[in-house]
Amino acid sequence: MVPPFSKTKDGFELQFGTNHLGHFALTAQFLDVLTKTAGARVVNVSSSAHRLGKLNFDDLAWEKRSYIAARAYSDSKIANLYFTFELDRRLKENKLDLTATAAHPGLTATELSRYGSVMNFVNSFFAQSVSMGALPVLRAAIERELKGGEFFSPDGFLELGGFRRINPSKI
């Protein structure tokens, strides 16, 4: 999350390559197995930062504009949601017994924000435990009445506990 500008070995901006393209490629590699497994799910981990995402398809690698690490992170997370919802739409269109959904852990006490001193400061006061942060992702994976194309989030003040289904912004 928000590292200094760097690229993957394939030339993609690091956060977009890691957070989105890597997951896209992994899903593609397992798609045959997933479609043959009754009730299988793809759960993509996004972030509430998706709200600030705005993909620039003319410059996904941040080569033509000044790099803003937080914006690049947000872009990678809205890309996760675009992928999730389009994948789920296509699975339903092809009548496959596989669903795609997304979740975000909220502000969770992990090493994710190691490059952001402000976030580390905020984490020290407000971050929830790792087990609480995992709850929305786990629910997205096991919720019985899941329809697919849903987005799970922590609930409550500052999204710091429990879980709920939410409607992502700008999708």
Three-class HEC string of the chain: CCCCCCECCCCCEHHHHHHHHHHHHHHHHHHHHHHCCCCEEEEEECCHHHHHCCCCCCCCCCCCCCCCHHHHHHHHHHHHHHHHHHHHHHHHHCCCCEEEEEECCCCECCCCCCCCHHHHHHHHHHCECHHHHHHHHHHHHHCCCCCCCCEEEEECHHHCEEEEEECCCCC
Q: Annotated catalytic, 73?
A: yes
Active site residues: 73
